[in-house]
Structure 1
Amino acid sequence: MKRNRIAKSGEFRKLLKQAFAINQRPLPWAKALAAGISSGLPVLIGVLLGQLQYGLIAGLGGLAFLYMFNEPYALRSKKIFFAALGLAFSAGLGVLLSQQPLLATAAVGIIGALAVFIFGAYQFTGPTAIFFVLVFLINNNMTDNPALFLLHGFLVFLGGMLSWLMAMWAYPFNPHAPETKAVKRAYAALTALAESAGSAEFYEVRQHAWSALKSAETAIGNANAKWTRSNRLVQLTLLHAQATSVYAEIIKRGDRYSTVSKETAENLRLIASSVEASGKKSFAAAPRLQTETGDALTESTRKAYDILTGQRDKRTRDSELKAEPFKAVFANAFNKHSMVFFAAIRFGVVLAFAAFIAHFLPIDPSYWVPLSAAAVMSGATILSTFNRSLQRSAGTIVGIVVAAVILSFQPDGLFIALMVFALTALTELAIVLNYAVAAFFITPNALMIAESTSQIGDLSYFASARIVDVLIGSAIGLIGVLLIGRRRASTLLPPLMSKTLRSQQRFMSLLFSPYSPDIDAQPIEQKKMRTNLSNLKLVLDTAHGELPQRPENLAFLQQVFFASEQLAFLLENAAQKERLALSPAQLGQLHLFFEMMANALEGNWPFAEHVIPEIPGFPEIEQELAALQETVRMSTRKTELHKKDEAFE
């Protein structure tokens, strides 16, 4: 028992250190400047027109810019526009319900849940629901006249359109910069993969290369729109397709006993260094690739070079990569094994509860209670939620004191505009360092917008009231997340992993069946396999942040997932080629092979190794099946040891 207490104490100190650690990342100066202009310029215009209040409302639309990241312009355009639209809707609804506190309580929960669901379904990075909730709550408390809801919504939307312009201004000068960088990173990762072939680091480097390829695929898929189609985008799409072919050829020979020639690695490095330059008019073709024996890997590399230098037709009809359709995205999110729908409902319920509690507090206005709860719950996992509660409390308390001092001097309009600009820019800089530092600037910025037109009589009462709000809201958010589905992801992992393996078995059986099954069944089973893998990834990522943590066990499950993902890639690759059918006996072996692994992961049966049937013409699939079986064996073995340790404790 004493050992357990010491271990828990050490774990708590580790969590505290992690919560307040300063990240060593480059500061986004350009983005911070643009964010400051997006929020500060509307306030300045309002001051110049003698309408400070309207300027502050429009400045809230500038928060739409904070949803911009280094993503393709086609996606960025839609994302910022709909963020501005959502902020405008939140502002208008907040004003409309200003005399209906109970309805406002329900509405803020619905707004938060919708934002979390949409961002989770599309797996967007960013602040998710927090700014929609902020805009709703500020406007809900800013006026007592519901008739002004259209005006407030329109002003916020105007501010949001300024954010759209700030996010899109560089498009005419370099329209494909984000996806170009993604493709360059993919080829750089392939270079490292080729160099690591035959070494003990190959498996780890392979994971990095695969991640880079998937990131490039996502970037190119999100870049496609009617107004962004160009020869350059087609070229990048073809380069990515060829990169996957190079990857497939490398992993066929890149185990611990095979190597890839230095010439191939140098050729890949040459391609990676030339990707960005090839999109410019001044690009001069790079030197010819080094000559070596013409095997499949060499030919794949040479094809990539020819695409890069324009020696192959860039106008290929089948070269277009598209993002997943709207219906498919939300169908996946509504899956019973998905964490997205559950997380959205939990967020909305806890947020509405925090707003309901705030309504009965003897503090006016008390909207900082639900706002703090929303900020805390914006953490993607239980662990990040715990960190956010500490960061939010510490950073906000300091920020409230600073804001109270500034507001006590009743600053004029020009000073307020400059402060909004500076605090928004500093928030964008600080967020990459630590959320506690960012909260130091977020808090006075929000208070500046919400309270600058009101009189603050008692400075100490104002500061203490806001601090109490923050502490109560942070506690509600943390407790709500801990009580509702604290271990849901870990509980979902075994059945979802088993389901994923069984879907792969069905797809593989269709590919190699001697009975010529209906061709239409293959895309259906392929889609199911992809959906299961996508849901499994999200659940696994969430499980990494749950408390108590089992990092060793999750590391093995991560390897199982990676092996499953690689198997899916190889099966989809095989679906495009001629295949020899397996015999009924071999298909039976295959079914038993997957079923035993699935049952072992679910804990129903003890693990037992099984014979892998020969897959004619696809030795790489056999190798991946063997790797998958080994990772399942290691994972189930680690789970058994943990169960014994828990029983002993």
Structure 2
Amino acid sequence: MSLRGAFTVRRPPRGRGRLAWVSALAMGIPLIAGQLTGRLDLGLTATLGAVTAIYYPRSSWRYRARALPVVAVGSAAAGAVGAMAGGNPWRTAVAVAAVAFVATALFAALLAPPPGAVPIVVACAVATQFPPGAANIGTRAGLTLAGAAFAYFLTMICARRDQAGPSRHAVAEALEALATLAGTWGTKRTEMARHDAEREVRRAEVIVARDRPGGPLAAIAARLRRVFTRIVDYATLTGRPPPASVPGRLRDYAAGVLSGRYDPARRSWALGWGRAPPAQPGAVGEVALATAWAGAAARANVLVDHLDTSGHPRRRAWVSALTTRVGQLAHHDRPVADRGQERTSWAWHRLAVTIADLACPTGVRAVAPIIAPTRDLLADGLRLRSPAWPWATRCGVATAAAALFAIAAGIDRPYWAPVAAATVLEVRTARVAGQRTLQHAAGTVLGALATFALLTVPFPVWSLIVVAMVLQAAIELLGPANGGFGALLVMPLTMLVAQVSGPGESAEALVVSRFVDTLLGLVVGLVASLVLWPRVAARRLPDALADCVGATGVLLANLLTEARTGSTPPALRPVLTSERLPRRTGQDHRRARRDRRRGAARHHVEARLEWLSEMHVEADNEPGETARATWPTVVAARRLGYVVLLEPLGLRDALPATAASPDGIRLLFGQLAAGIRGDGPAPPREPAQLPPFPPLRREFAALVDSAPSSDSAPSPDTHDLGRSGTSGAWRE
């Protein structure tokens, strides 16, 4: 456990201020309505549904419109379960544990972002403490659902003023990740920078596909993957990172996207009138640099990228011939220096024109990514070997134990013990759970002192409601920066709500009960993370590796099938502009089906790469050395996956010369996956079935060498990953 990590303060994500005030209004307005009607207890019940406002803050407007009602129903159901179990200690413990188990399993299976299952557990635990005579169970569930519906409509109305906001933030973050990739190539951060860039590009494509913005913003999103490919191509062909102007130019685009420069229809959310001001160019936007980029783009337009427009058949034929000529630069009668210079010039022209034309609204066709349906996510996330089951079981057992310990200790309001235990277990691994425990313990101690001072002053009810709203806004704003801030602010908030719902109680008794309750739950949660299934991710890391290798083999087999049937890869096909859209034919429909299959296989590889990285991060925070021992295998699997995902020209040219059939490729990668799992021997380092493409063969050999079941000694040239910036030292 790192003490430094426990007290690190991070910058809150963009757009957190709006979420904070929406959350405060979603909680405060039901309290105000309850006070005005003389039924403050009913207003307090409705606030249990206010948690709906804090879910999926970075997702698209349309996705939130579909996902938040499910969260609303879940919070209402949790409140109803808690209301039915109230009054009996054993029923309370079982109810909170059941809600924690189900919510943790579902959120883990759906790969949902924070806050996860904790607010749902809060709704259930608080509902167990309502007095029996306040209202019947049906009325409480209806009030919770009404509060959730109010939070939903408030969230949607506030977000509708700027529907393209999630797209802008996602595209800007993808551009920042691409700039980091270009700036760190050849260093020890290369491997993670490449993976982060691929992940952010994929996320931007999904959010833009759901938001469907138009104009230059959509054009930038459609070209993100091409920029990623051009950066990797340049570094691969030249053996050095792109010029220093590339990261600066990409960050200039990112600043313009955030300011609304490429989204003219954007309205100011604060005023509701006018357009966003244009971004001021930074140091990378000086006249000399802009002139250099314009010149590079002009030369590159003559060379390559008019593949992106229909028409110009002679130019496309000339570019194709030039591509073949450049691919033959290794001819023995060419000087080595000239060959390297032409390769560098060719790669730079391709990269320069792609970035220079990034915001051009024509000449690009946005291809919608494959987005897995919810039922497929659930089926995959709830499979027998999924880590969701041990995570959910651990959270259920810990919350039940915390509730029973608090009840046995005679605490008047024992519902915060299971909530504190669920908060610790939200992070899933022992190291981060220890950091979370320290954060919340320190925040609780400071919050108890602040609460005692606050409750000694006899505030009127209206003042308490206003202070509670301000505290709720501060929690949502500062909570992501450090968990200690959230614990410090939650303490007075809960005490104020308790004082509003039950006036006349002793402030000292409330604070002491809440303090002991929380510390007990933190201790139980920490012990559970250390004792119950502490190596969940480490034991499933071989499965994640094998799944990633198998998905890569399926994609390579699909590419081989296309190469032998004569279908043209999308990268060599002219992209249609919005001005010329010919009528679709039967061949177009068959091509669309092939593209769909290719997209599904690509999505499968991307998803497996993302899951592999997540499992490795989780395993790195668990006890033992599994993550460190498997890091070379993780690096090799990711590098192999990216080689096939990028579909470089050399790979496409080598596919027709492949000795094996598509089924043979699947069997070869299946054998390697079985070797990684330990279910059989690994294949040879240099199998004859692979396409004669040196980078692919090199990465395959590196993966075989690093596989746990491999008996061969690692080759110095394939395991010297430090030269390409992917050594194990990166993790330090």
Instruction: Give the alignment's TM-score, normalised by structure 2.
Output: 0.71
Aligned equivalents of 1:433 and 1:268: distance in 2?
27
**1:403-440 Cα distance to aligned partner (Å, 9 max, x none):** 35544556431122022112212222331332123211
- Equivalent AA in structure 2 for residue 310 of structure 1: P
| Mapped contact 1:109–1:351 kept (Cα < 8 A) | yes
**1:219-242 Cα distance to aligned partner (Å, 9 max, x none):** 4424545xx44535xx65554343
Work out the percentage of aligned pairs sharing the same amino acid. 20
Shift of the alpha carbon at 1:329?
0.6
The aligned counterpart of 2:297 is 290
| Mapped contact 1:90–1:133 kept (Cα < 8 A) | yes
The 3-state SS of whatever aligns with 1:364 is: coil
Match of 2:361 among 310, 313, 338: 310
Shift of the alpha carbon at 1:580?
1.0
Aligned equivalents of 2:665 and 2:17: distance in 1?
58
Shift of the alpha carbon at 1:507?
4.5
Change in CA separation of 1:178 and 1:531 when aligned onto 2, cut-off 3 Å = closer
- Equivalent AA in structure 2 for residue 243 of structure 1: L
| Mapped contact 2:417–2:517 kept (Cα < 8 A) | yes
- Equivalent AA in structure 2 for residue 208 of structure 1: A
Summarize the alignment of residues 159-308 of structure 1 with structure 2, pairs less than 5 Å apart: 159-191=147-179, 193-194=181-182, 200-201=186-187, 204-205=189-190, 207-222=192-207, 224-225=209-210, 228-232=211-215, 236=217, 239-255=220-236, 257-258=239-240, 260=242, 272=254, 275=257, 276-280=260-264, 290-293=297-300, 294-295=303-304, 298=349, 302=353, 308=359
Shift of the alpha carbon at 1:301?
6.1
Change in CA separation of 1:185 and 1:371 when aligned onto 2, cut-off 3 Å = closer
Match of 2:6 among 16, 19, 22: 19
The aligned counterpart of 1:615 is 691
Change in CA separation of 1:366 and 1:583 when aligned onto 2, cut-off 3 Å = same
The aligned counterpart of 2:620 is 544
Summarize the alignment of residues 378-389 of structure 1 with structure 2, pairs less than 5 Å apart: 378-389=426-437
Summarize the alignment of residues 363-512 of structure 1 with structure 2, pairs less than 5 Å apart: 363-407=411-455, 411-454=459-502, 459-509=507-557, 511-512=559-560
| Mapped contact 1:95–1:140 kept (Cα < 8 A) | yes
Aligned equivalents of 2:506 and 2:135: distance in 1?
32
The 3-state SS of whatever aligns with 1:425 is: helix
Change in CA separation of 1:620 and 1:181 when aligned onto 2, cut-off 3 Å = farther
| Mapped contact 1:612–1:625 kept (Cα < 8 A) | no
- Equivalent AA in structure 1 for residue 659 of structure 2: S
Summarize the alignment of residues 464-613 of structure 1 with structure 2, pairs less than 5 Å apart: 464-509=512-557, 511-512=559-560, 529=605, 532-548=608-624, 552-553=628-629, 555-570=631-646, 579-584=655-660, 595=671, 599=675, 602=678, 609-610=685-686
- Equivalent AA in structure 2 for residue 19 of structure 1: A
Change in CA separation of 1:632 and 1:394 when aligned onto 2, cut-off 3 Å = same
- Equivalent AA in structure 2 for residue 257 of structure 1: G
Aligned equivalents of 1:371 and 1:491: distance in 2?
28
1:362 correspondence with 2:410: yes
Unmatched 5+ residue regions in structure 1? 1-11, 639-649
Change in CA separation of 1:76 and 1:603 when aligned onto 2, cut-off 3 Å = same
CA RMSD of aligned residues (A): 4.3
The aligned counterpart of 2:577 is none
Shift of the alpha carbon at 1:383?
1.5
Shift of the alpha carbon at 1:344?
1.9
Aligned equivalents of 1:338 and 1:70: distance in 2?
26
The aligned counterpart of 2:100 is 112
- Equivalent AA in structure 2 for residue 160 of structure 1: A
Change in CA separation of 1:553 and 1:428 when aligned onto 2, cut-off 3 Å = same
Aligned equivalents of 1:169 and 1:343: distance in 2?
35
Aligned equivalents of 1:505 and 1:525: distance in 2?
10
- Equivalent AA in structure 1 for residue 263 of structure 2: G
Aligned equivalents of 2:374 and 2:13: distance in 1?
34
1:625 correspondence with 2:700: yes
Aligned equivalents of 2:123 and 2:458: distance in 1?
23
Aligned equivalents of 1:589 and 1:123: distance in 2?
31
Unmatched 5+ residue regions in structure 2? 266-274, 279-289, 306-346, 567-592, 715-732
Aligned equivalents of 1:126 and 1:573: distance in 2?
40
Aligned equivalents of 1:600 and 1:267: distance in 2?
41
With 168-177 and 402-411 compared, the bigger mean Cα shift is at 402-411
| Mapped contact 1:395–1:436 kept (Cα < 8 A) | yes
Match of 1:129 among 100, 117, 132: 117
The 3-state SS of whatever aligns with 1:291 is: helix
The aligned counterpart of 1:71 is 59
With 580-589 and 146-155 compared, the bigger mean Cα shift is at 580-589
Aligned equivalents of 1:428 and 1:521: distance in 2?
42
The aligned counterpart of 1:645 is none
| Mapped contact 1:374–1:477 kept (Cα < 8 A) | yes
Change in CA separation of 1:619 and 1:253 when aligned onto 2, cut-off 3 Å = farther
| Mapped contact 1:239–1:304 kept (Cα < 8 A) | no
Aligned equivalents of 1:583 and 1:499: distance in 2?
24
Instruction: Give the alignment's TM-score, normalised by structure 1.
Output: 0.79
When the two structures are aligned, how many residues end up with a matched partner?
A: 614
Change in CA separation of 1:629 and 1:185 when aligned onto 2, cut-off 3 Å = farther
| Mapped contact 2:447–2:492 kept (Cα < 8 A) | yes
| Mapped contact 2:297–2:356 kept (Cα < 8 A) | no
Aligned equivalents of 1:630 and 1:182: distance in 2?
37
Aligned equivalents of 2:386 and 2:650: distance in 1?
28
